[in-house]
Each structure stands twice: as C-alpha cells, then as structure tokens.
Amino acid sequence: MKPWRTVGAFLLGLASCQLPQQESEIAPSIEYVKRPKVEIRLDKVLFNQGLLVSEIENYFLDLDSDSVLHQHDLVQNFYALQGYEPHWIDISDTLQHADFLSILRSSELHGLNENTYHFERLATNLENLSFFYFEAGSINYQLWAESEILFSDALILLAKHFKYGAFDPLNCENYHYFISSDHEILEPFQVFYEKDLSSFFENLLPSNVHYKSLQNEFAKRLETPENLRTSKDVDTLNVLRVNLERWRWNSLFADTGRVVYVNIPAFEMLVFEDQSLLLTSKVCVGTKRPRDYASQLEDYKKNPRLHKKPAHFETPIFRDDISYMVLNPLWNVPSSIAKKTILRNIQKDSNYLSKMGYLVYSGSEQIDPHSVDWESVTMDNFPYRFQQPAGDQNALGKMKFMFPNRFAVYLHDTPTKRDFSRQNRAVSHGCVRVENYMELALILLSDMPKYDLDHLRKAIGLDKKTDQEMKTINLPLKSTTPIIIDYKTAWLDIDGNLQIFSDVYERDRLVLDALGR
C-alpha cells in the first residue's frame, strides 16, 4: 500500500461562480524563512536544489501551466517573492507528502471533489518520484517542481473552499442570496506558515453542530461502495453535498444564544435557544419565480425601454435582527401587488375593495373607489395606492415581526389559515406567514413580563366582546433576536433523522453543477 494511502485514515475526522477573496497580488503577511541552498548527499544520488529552483521558475514559463493551475498568478507571485525556492518538497520526507495527499483526499468527506485539488496527478507524481529515486537512482527535477507547485495550488484552493465554499451565490443572479459572510479574512499565503496543517484545515470548516451532523451523515453514506449505490443513494449524496456547501458560505448560525431560523424548502420556522429547540411552526413563503424569468430578464437588460423588469416573489435569503412587533398592523399594499393582483381582482368584482376593507388613496388623499373607472386603469397608468386597516380581514393578520431590511420582508400572521395545510406552501408575495405567531411572540417577549398571553389576546382582539376598532400598536422589544431566512434542502432533525425537502426554487442544480457532479 502506498504511504499516502496508509496515513489517510487518521484524517477521516477532518472533515461555478467565482470565489470571494480572489487576491492575486498580496504579499505574505509573515516573513518567509528561506531554506538554505544545500546539496543533500543520499545513498545513490546527489540532490541539487539549484536545479530544482530552476525547474520551478521554468514551470511558469510553460504556457500549459496556466491551464493546469487554478490560481496561476497567485501561485507564481508567491514563488517569485521567494526566489522560486521550494516550500513543500523535501526528498527525504515522504511521510510529509503522504500527509498532504491525505488532507487533499479529506475534501471528499465534505462533498468536494478531490481531483479539483490535483489529487490523482500528485499521487501519481509522488509514486513516480519514489521509483526514480529508490530504483532508478536518479532525480526528475521537472517532476519535483511540478509536484511542488501543484501542492501549493491545491492547498491554497482547498483552504479557500473550506473557508468560504467552492461556489459563490453572491455572484449568481439566479440564486437570490444576500447573506454576506462574516468570516475572518483568510490570507492567501496563510497555508504556507502553518505548522499543523491538519488542524489548520479542520478549523477552517464551520464549527456549528448542524454542519457537523450533516457531514457525519454524508461520510457514513459514502461508506457504501459506488457499485452498490442505488440511484436514490446517489441522489441523497448529491443533496447532502449541496447542503454542506451551503453551510460553508457563512458562519452566521451560532451554537449559543437565541435564533429564529426559517428554512424555505421545509416551509418551517425553528426557534433555538443554545441549541435547544423552543418552537417549531409551519410557514408560508414566496412563490417560485416564473419559468421564463431568466429570458424576461435578458430581454429587459437588452432593451429596458421595450421590456419591463420582471418581478418575482421568491423569499430572499438573509440575516437580520427582530427589533419590534406590530399588533393589529395596517397593510400598505406594495405597488407590485396592487398593480398585478388587486387591480385584476377589482376588474373581476367591482365590490372587491369594499369586501376586503381596502382604502384607496390618490397621493395623500383618500378617495371613493366607486369614483374610479377601473376598467380603464392599467398597470402602466396606475396612480393609486391601497391600504388595508387592522381587522380580521387584514392580510397581515394580528401581528407582524419586524426586522427592517431592503427587501421589505417580515414575518406575520395571516387570516388565510387554510394555506398551512398545503404541502407546497410557497404561496406568498415574499414575506413569511407564521402559523404559530402567538407562541413566537411570547418567546420574543419573554423578558417583558407585562406582555403575557392574556395581555396579547386582549390587545389583538381575540378576547374582545364588542366590535371596537383595533388599535395599531408598535411594540419595541427589550432585546433583539437574530433571524436567519435560509435555504437548506437537507436537515438532520433533533432525533438525528435525515430530512430531505423539495427544492422548491430549483437551486440545488446550480450548486451541484459548480461542485462537479
């Protein structure tokens, strides 16, 4: 068995769009200590480091090297700064080379492709180099140089992929992803100065329990030999790969403190406190964008004068902080909904506005809806705005939970309770409707004892005995609570059972293609 195979076992626990932080001109932040130029006399040959230095420099003059290396300019910059001296290669240290290969191979346990990191080529190179030295009694400096450079390219790239992910949704228009990573910046040459590479790479990965549990599930399922895997096994592994990648995009899900977590494909909201599950609730999320959205968007980009920018209502992915609640909210209807949905309903039923309790405004003036010839109104000449007062018909229900953001998305109750019985609950215009809204309110108000269940029920009219008008109340929270609206199609529940959810916005394929199927 080859040495790089034998040492792989101890690392089993270590477990396209453009990457962020693609630095190419950054000098190392730690002073590089050059290795002395010495000749090492071994049993059969004389190792000349000067020849190796020349071959490393010559490698970058070869036009083919640009297509082989993932980060040609970055790697060349490093070696140029060091006078093209080798950093990794030591002809007498075959165990170290095996350790490098084991680290590269551990990428497979995290859903990445080991050959993205030159694994097979490096394994073959080192086998050939061992043959040349131990049996042929000669040194192939060109092969040593290539292996030195491929190790650098591979380890830098793997560090970035472990730290940030291999696919950047921020650069993909179709992904609708807005969480910016709060990772500490990874210096491009940091990998060269680590004494314990195994620990270094392990520490780059997400530390939260959800990533670790999903990764353990993936590694366990990998144990089934390829020739025994069913198509369902392959599909499950691919879904796990995709979701491991999603966890690497940000480190916003902490293992401590309270967090409200909405998972779009699961149509579910979870509230955690120090990893204890406080609440589970069904939710409704935004409808899927139309199938011809991409072509509509291209038409708009080519000629905005002729084509309108297409709208879609997919719930965005982002993180914020819930800072206040609104009891008995008013609903100021967004222009897009007014033009596309409400106008159509009015033209079907002239009494629609009065039935639903909408007020109509022209500018700041409230007008009689019956004074408008709605048949002559179109989306292009729409001067009105609608407001729905608080009440049982209000589309926002009895409460909304606010975390001001650029998408005007929030959590809220709904009078349309029947939607919670649907299997596919992608039915909203982007906001998140919460079935167990009262339970969520009590958790958020747990440090404000005045606002107990009885108080809230009276405030929102659940215990009212008369038809008094409901007063809209803005209720600031004593302490904010982080909320993450996310997109995970695989999840391990509290009992350790793997849950696979429908890819409601059809995004898994984008990630899987970037990872390499």
Residues catalogued as catalytic? 412, 431
The residues near 446 (Cβ < 8 Å, ≥ 6 apart) are none
- Contact between 218 and 109 under an 8 Å Cβ cutoff? The reply is yes
- Contact between 267 and 432 under an 8 Å Cβ cutoff? The reply is no
- Contact between 268 and 282 under an 8 Å Cβ cutoff? The reply is yes
Tokens standing for residue 264: 């779009």
The residues near 227 (Cβ < 8 Å, ≥ 6 apart) are none
- Contact between 89 and 149 under an 8 Å Cβ cutoff? The reply is no
State the Cα–Cα distance between residues 440 and 446, nearest whole angstrom: 10
Pairing verdict, β 365-367 and 331-332: unpaired
The radius of gyration of the chain's CA atoms, rounded to the nearest angstrom, is 30
State the Cα–Cα distance between residues 276 and 279, nearest whole angstrom: 9
The residues near 6 (Cβ < 8 Å, ≥ 6 apart) are 98
Q: Tell me the angle at which helices 119-131 and 141-164 cross, rounded to the nearest 10 degrees.
A: 150
Q: Which segments within 403-492 are labelled E, that is strand?
A: 411-412, 426-428, 432-434, 473-486, 490-492
- Give the burial class of 10: count Cβ atoms within 10 A of its Cβ; 0-12 exposed, 13-18 middle, 19 or more buried: exposed
